[in-house]
Every structure is written in C-alpha cells, then in structure tokens.
Amino acid sequence: MEEYLAKLNPEQLKAATHVDGPLFVVAGAGTGKTRTLTTRVAYLIKVAGIPADNILAVTFTNKAAREMKERIVHMAGPYATGVWIYTFHSLASQILRKDIEVLELGYKKTFNIADEDDAKSIIRDIIKKQNLDHKRYKVNDIRNKISDFKCFSQDRFDDTYEKLVYQNYQKELVDNNLLDFDDLQIYLHKLLLEHEDVRRYYQEKFQYILVDEFQDTDHIQYEIIKLLAGIKKNIFVVGDPDQSIYGFRGANYENANHFRRDFGGEQVLNMNYRSTPEILDFANRLISHNINRPVKKNLTTEQEPGFEPLVWNAQSDRGEATMIANEINRLVKDLGYSYQDIAILYRNNALSRTFEDTLMKMNIPYVMYGGLSFYQRKEIKDILAYIRLLVNPHLDFYFKRVINVPKRAIGPTTVTKLETLAKSLGLSMFQAIDYLDVTGKTKESLDGFKKLILEMQERMLTMENLDEIVMYVAYHTSYLLMLEEEKDDISQDRIDNIKELKSVFVQGEEFYEGTLVEKLTQLLDQIALYTDLDQKLDKDAVVLSTFHQVKGLEFKVVFMTVMEEGIFPSPLSTYDSRELEEERRIAYVGVTRARERLYLSRADERLLYGNYIRPLASRFLKEMQPMKEKFTRPVYEQSSSRPSEHYLKAGDKVSHIVFGEGIVVNIESDIATIAFKLPHGIKKILENHPSLKKIG
C-alpha cells in the first residue's frame, strides 16, 4: 500500500487516508480524482481494516465502475472484489431485487427493467388503444412529461388524456412486472425513506460510502446518498462544481451546497497534472467570472511553461475551418503530433458540417465522437431522400426510406407487397402504387403520398434558387411538424440540423450553373460522395465532438471553435444568469481538455441555418484574455512551413468536377479566380468548395 500512497501529492494523500466522517473532495480538472478515490478504497481495506463488502462506491457509467474495481483489486488484492461498485441505477436494482415487495406496489422480486425504447413502445401502444391523434399526442413528449411527473412531481400534462396515458402506462408496467429507469431510483428512495428496518440494514452494511462525479447527481440521487449515510456520515464525495454541465439531464448544481450544509468537511485538489500553466491561466480566469461557486479554487501545476493559447478570427466560417485544417497539417507534418492527439470542439452538432467538409477535402482523417457525421444523421438523410425523389420519383431505395416518414399508416407489410408487385410488373414502386390491390386507409395514404411528391415536384420546377428547396420539403412533407410536436432536446437538435442543411444549398447556389434541376443534380452527386463512401474509422484520426461529449477526456491539442455570441454562449442563456454560468462551465470543460496547445477561433461572418450572420466575439474570449482587445490571424513559431488561412494560392493547378482543370489567378478573401480551358473561361469560385481540388 505504501507504494501507492507514495505516488500521491500531499493534497491527494490527505484525502485518500481520511477515514471517518464526511469529506467533499473538490477535485479540479486533471487533479487525479479517480486515483485519489480508488486509493482511498484500497486504504480502507488494507490499512483501516474495513471489510470490502461494507464499502459502497457509486459512479455514473458501467465502464467507470469496472475500471474503478480493477484499480482497487490491483492495489488491495482479490479480497477487494467484494466492494460494492455500481451506478445509481444498478445499485437500485440490486437493493430492489431483495426488498421491492415490501413497498406493496404490485411488483415481484423477479421484475424486469424496461429501457427507453421499451417505455416508448408501451406509450405508443396506449396512444393507439385510446384512439388519440398521434400527431397531437407525441410519444417522446409524453414520455418526458411522465418522467418529470415521477421524478420532480411536475404536472406538465396538457389534458386529461395525457394523464390517462400516464396512468395506463404505470398500470402496464406493474401488470408486466416492469420498472423503467425512473422507477429504479424513485422506488429505492421510497424504500429507504418509508421503511426504517430496510434503511437501518443498509446504513449498517455500507459503513463507508464514496460517490464519484458528484457534480452530476440529481436531487433523488442526493437524497438516496443522504439516507444511506445515516448518523455515521462516513461519506466521501469527489467532484468539481465548475464542471457541472448536465443541468438539462437533471443534475442539480446546488447539491454541492446541500452537502456542505448537511455534512460539512471539504478539501480542494488544486494541483493539475494535465495542462500547461498558460492553459490553466485561461481556465482560471474564465471560471472566476461565475459568481455562484460553492467552492472557489485556482488550478496550479508544476509543469514547465508551454505555449500561450491562441485566439484566432477568420473572415468566414469556411476560413475558420481551413485555418484549423492547415494548422492540423502543420502540427502533424512538422511538429510530430498524431491526428488522434487533436480535437475540434463545438457547442452543438449542427456546427460540425463546415469542419467535416474541410477535413474531407484536405484528406485529414476524423471521427465523430459520440455522434454521427452530419450527412449520416437520420433527419439529413431523410430530407435528402425526399429531394432525390423530387428529382427522380422512381428511385426505390429513397422511396422506401421516406414512404412512412412521417407516419402515414403505410406499414412494412404494405411496402413489401408494393415492392413485390413493382418487380413483377417491371415498374418503380412509385408507379406501382396505381396497381396495388389495397383499400381503405392504406389506399388513401399511398395515393396521398404519390400526390404529395408530384405536387412538390411541380412546385420545385418553378423555383429559381437552390436555397428554397430544403425548408420547402421539410415543411410540406410535415417533417418539421413531426419534430416540433416531439418537443424535446433531441428533436430541436434535429430541426437545427435541417436548417443547417439549407446552408449547403445556399453555397451550391453560389457555385453551380445551369437550370435548377441541373444545379441540384450536381449538388446531390457531390453530397453522395460524402455519404456513400465507406469511411474508415482509423484510430489515428482527429476527434470532432461537442463539449458535452468529451467531458472526462483529454487531448494534446484542442480547437474550441465558433466562439461567438448567440452560439456560445447560447442566446437563451443571456437572459438567465444560471444558464449563463452553466454555459461558462461548458467552456471551462473545453479549456481543461487541452494538455499542450489550445486554440480558440471565431469568424467575422458565418452561414448558419441558411442565413449569413455577423456574430460578435464570445464574451468568454475576453474573459480568458482580458489584457488583449484584438483577436488575431494565426501567428506561428518557426517551422519548416508556414501555412496561411488560404487553401489555394495564385499559380496552383486545380481540378473541378464540372469545369475540368484550371489555374488559380488570384485569391481575394475566400474567393478564387480561376482560368479554366474554353468554353468555361474565367470563374470565381469559393476556394474551399468541395468540388474544387488542388492537383500537382
């Protein structure tokens, strides 16, 4: 045990060897919180002599639980396998398996757990059985309302029908001996609160309780911890209130203050082992602007000085992406970094498209961490499938994708019959609609779909610009209405992605020539190059991600992008100080992901959701570097190459998918003047357009 204790700094050692009484370890980013927590468990077993099965450690992911147990067993030996290490939901399942019947709710110990898809399927069936309008009574919306009612006693049901769905849903769960995720925590809390004998048993059993990622706990989880701790109060929690960024999931930022009030006892880990002093200065200055901080800390490090974080601005969003891609090439080719050392972070998934396009164009490998590629997202593929049908209704692949999206009462059996008939007649499925022997609602729905496509096709032919198409299709197919009626965070994200797809078409209008159908066909072909290729998920690849998804990870190089007011921080947060402080914590998480190099970028002009905007610089930039008033273009230390913001330069030979080969005459802003062979001649083209590539 001595060898493991010797690896800890004085702050960590004091926390790890703390035995009796409460302790809140405020562990800043990169301060070794997991090492401290696991060493303490091993210390309790090996030195304090606490039986392993009298120790409970709770964390938030099964992966983290497994890794913690492996570390503890490695330090304390096989006997340590008896430690209870679970997520909150797994802990609830373990205890309810033994004692749920005392609640007299109709459940048996042999209950099963319904995942989110199961829960939504039950709700969907109830809506159908109650003959409710599925367009008005949306599954996701009602599921969220049920969760709020169960967890927070918030009655957000719009009418008695929605409440009846909830009542029937709960009855269905009990009748089938099913618990959903909410039930697991709710019933564990109810069991501990209302049954003293059960509460005393577990208070006696769990003599020492440890909680990892404490800043992510919700109000029920905190109450469960409080009940289990009992009068002994041997509770040890580790977390960083400055990294509390999951308020939208129910995490209660005030739990840190509740713990200080209910238990007291705290220690701060300030020594950071991840980032350079310069990066930590940015992080400390940023988070100091949050007023509501239960514990104020200032991260320090013994690392040697490194590189000052760079705050860059580009003329446009495309310029920003090109600037970053050029720097990535320099980091890899000249400075010895690997692609996997680098992360590009943004506030929401809709912002990834420009970076994806540019990395693809410059042959820089990348992976989407915790999310899909922009062009692989369901809503994007659905809208593009509709547009392809407007160009050619006889494409069966795209026909099958959208025939019942949104729902049109055209089930898989009907689709199969239609496909079989079409093949036998040698027709497309679109043509075969007229010959399928069906009646009633199915016939009406099929005819309605065909009429819809033909009407939209006719309307599209009267359009003058590509930028009209995306939103027209999204509205007239009722796809946007479908998403709007779901009324949840995911559906709003999907709506934003569709709006961002409009940006692709706006750019296409600036570039392609010919009739609208000719321009549209060229654009769809180019997009197909992105979606149809089998992308190799090489491990040595740049990571693209939202800030939320990389919490807990670290990279040698981090690009924090689109640092602009109205995007980051979000517009809604400017009206609510609590929301603004959470936005600032999200930015703080981004800064503290960086180990060696940090870049913060913005653009003077951005094409977002189909509109050009000129956003102001994010207030967070000023907060991080208050002594500087200007944001600069890239300034590089000496290396074998000095990339510019531009992808092309005068004299470069290029190839274009329509105009063939040409020579760059001039670059002004992000517009390249190119001389192509006759009959095309001189063209002005966006230098970062995906159809243009440098050759030779």
Q: Which residues are catalytic?
A: 33-34, 212-213, 243, 593
- Radius of gyration of the chain, Cα coordinates, nearest whole angstrom: 29
Q: How far apart are the first and last CA of the chain?
A: 62
The long-range contacts involving 461-469, CB below 8 angstroms and separated by at least 24 positions, are 461/516, 461/517, 463/516, 464/516, 465/509, 465/516, 466/505, 466/506, 466/508, 466/509, 466/512, 466/516, 466/519, 466/520, 466/523, 467/502, 467/505, 467/506, 467/509, 467/610, 469/387, 469/505, 469/520
Where in 243-400 does DSSP place strands (E)?
A: 266-269, 310-316, 342-346, 366-368
Nearest Cα to Cα of residue 648 among 663, 628, 636: 663
| Cα 646 from Cα 189, distance rounded (Å) | 59
Three-state secondary-structure class, residue 362: coil
CA distances in angstroms from 571 to 502, 566, 577, listed in the order given: 21, 4, 12
* DSSP conformation class of 230: T
Q: Which residue has the tokens 């059960």?
A: 198
**CA distance linking residue 153 with residue 157, whole number of Å:** 11
Provide the 3-class DSSP secondary structure of residue 208.
strand
Q: List 602's β-bridge partners, or say none.
A: 313
CB contact at 8 A, 275 and 556: no
Inter-residue contact 87 to 60 (CB < 8 Å): yes
Task: Give which of 240, 244, 290, 294 is closest to 269, Cα–Cα.
Answer: 240
The CA distance from 347 to 500, in Å, is 14
> Which amino acid is residue 253, in one-letter code?
Y
Number of helices (H) and strands (E) in the chain: give both, helices first. Answer: 26, 20
